[in-house]
Structure 1
Amino acid sequence: MNQQAISTLPTATATAGNGAAAADHPMAAVTASAVTSAPRLTGNGTFVDNGWDRWHYLVLPGKPGTLTLRLQVADMITWWKRIEVHTEFFGHWFWIRRLETANDTKSASVDLTLADAQSGTLKLDFWKAGLFNSGSYVTTQVLDVEAHLGHTVAFLCSRDHFSQP
């Protein structure tokens, strides 16, 4: 696990209505000034393991000039998972993309370039299905786009309930 390679903003617990944007939770107020540096992820690691949820990352070679973000879930997971992708503009984060899995859809991906993230930094808000299918906030990660061009960064949810291995 490469804990120094990943930047986790303070974790907050929040819920949003079904399909609500990540901007509805307290972390939406985080500005670029709160992010001291967006690290370069290398190799693989675990960035959430709280007894219920377990999330990992894996950095793989990708397309030149492109950062591919991939969301994957383990076969046993059927409830939806979502990554809301934001970029910073004039000190505020703006939503630009969403990756989502649900039911039999176990993977989603998006290709991004420097033009997609004007600041060169992405904020990734991780969500999962909650009570009555409402959104439940998991964590936030920050990535430097230029440092990851030519790579695929895969995020895997391997557990979303304490009864799972």
Structure 2
Amino acid sequence: MPGRPHLTVRRAGLLIGLLLLTACGGPVEVDSPDLDGADADACAAFVDALPSTLADEDQVEIDPADAPAAAYGDPAIVVTCGVDGPEGFGPGSSCEIADKSRWYIPSEQYGDEPRELTLTAAWSRPRVEVVIPADYWPNATAAVMAQLAPLVRELRTVGGRCL
């Protein structure tokens, strides 16, 4: 029958599409902090300025799409603007400095084994958090901090020193 091969091609295309959708897993779910006007504006500008690749990973879709966040790669490196202060952070907390931007990393995340890392630009307002899955350990940490440093420096800096 002349119509039968067309139907088979259509079904094959649908099957391939479903397989790709399943393999990609769809958009990355991200937090969407509740922000006031000034922080919302600053985060919108920050997210708009984010690069299309981070630590050699391409940007991927997020859900909700209007969150002040971005995701890169699979598993996703997630960048979120407007987060609360990280647990354990306080005056005199230690930090890593990359291109004049200061990043807080909880002390329990330091080590010689691959692990998920949470970096927070805790001395900036609004704060920016980056969650880096263990798959990218150790090289992505320095790359992420260096790539995001110019954007973090554009945010308002609050006082305080880091060790």
Structure number with the higher strand fraction is: 1
> Common fold, TM-score beyond 0.5?
no
Provide TM-score, normalisation by structure 2.
0.30
Which structure's residues are more often helix, by fraction?
2
Larger Rg: 2
